[in-house]
Amino acid sequence: MKRLIDIAGGLVGLVLFSPLLLALAVAIRLESRGPALHWSKRVGRDNRLFAMPKFRTMRVGAPDVATHLLADPDQWVTPLGRLLRRTSLDELPQFWSVLVGHMSLVGPRPALFNQDDLVALRTEHGVHRLRPGVTGWAQVNGRDELPIPEKVRLDREYLDRRSLAFDLAILLRTIRAAFSGKGVSH
């Protein structure tokens, strides 16, 4: 049932947001050189790697690491990128990943390929068995502000509590969190 909801949600999201997706792609290309999309190497279900699309929020040539690991993130994030990150609009292309089955609407956020500490802890707690989500329980409880052990604790709580009703509650909280910009460090 969850996969059917994901397929419908991914399709509806792409169609519903297509004018905004197009406008943002054009704005990104006008603001700085490079492609509108960044295909990020992420860890998916059962620790398999996949390419996840995001709107590009950083300058071309930025190191491929989590933003909080950069010595000076402000040197790399574009002005439009700051807005996209704060509002989570950079995540909209991930409806594609939901549609093709790499992601779910709700689940733990996919780790970067080089976040070995996060991947190891998730594997230890069985969270790696879940399809990663566009949003998740940890996302609506702190986003970038959470230390890795707390993210994994919340991911494990999601694993234990998952249901369609819980997913719906997370989706509703995501809308509020995205528009508040709370919890985004860069």
Give per-residue pLDDT as tens, 16-37. Answer: 999 999 999 999 999 999 999 9
Boundaries of domain holding 95: 2-180
Per-residue pLDDT of the chain (186 residues; tens, 9 = 90+): 899 999 999 999 999 999 999 999 999 999 999 999 999 999 999 999 999 999 999 988 777 777 766 777 778 899 999 999 888 899 999 999 999 999 999 999 999 999 999 999 999 999 999 999 999 999 999 877 889 999 999 999 999 999 999 999 999 998 887 666 554 544
Q: Has residue 186 been placed in a domain?
A: no
CA quadruple 19, 21, 24, 30: dihedral positive or negative?
Answer: negative
Tokens standing for residue 14: 């792409």
Q: Has residue 123 been placed in a domain?
A: yes
How far, in Å, CA of 177 to CA of 6, rounded? Answer: 21
Q: Has residue 185 been placed in a domain?
A: no
Domain count, the chain: 1
How far, in Å, CA of 155 to CA of 123, rounded? Answer: 11
- pTM, two decimal places: 0.87
pLDDT at residue 144, as a whole number = 72
The contacts found for 70-73 with CB under 8 angstroms, 24 or more apart, are: 73/186
pLDDT at residue 181, as a whole number = 56
Q: Has residue 49 been placed in a domain?
A: yes
pLDDT at residue 186, as a whole number = 46
Q: Has residue 33 been placed in a domain?
A: yes
Q: Has residue 13 been placed in a domain?
A: yes
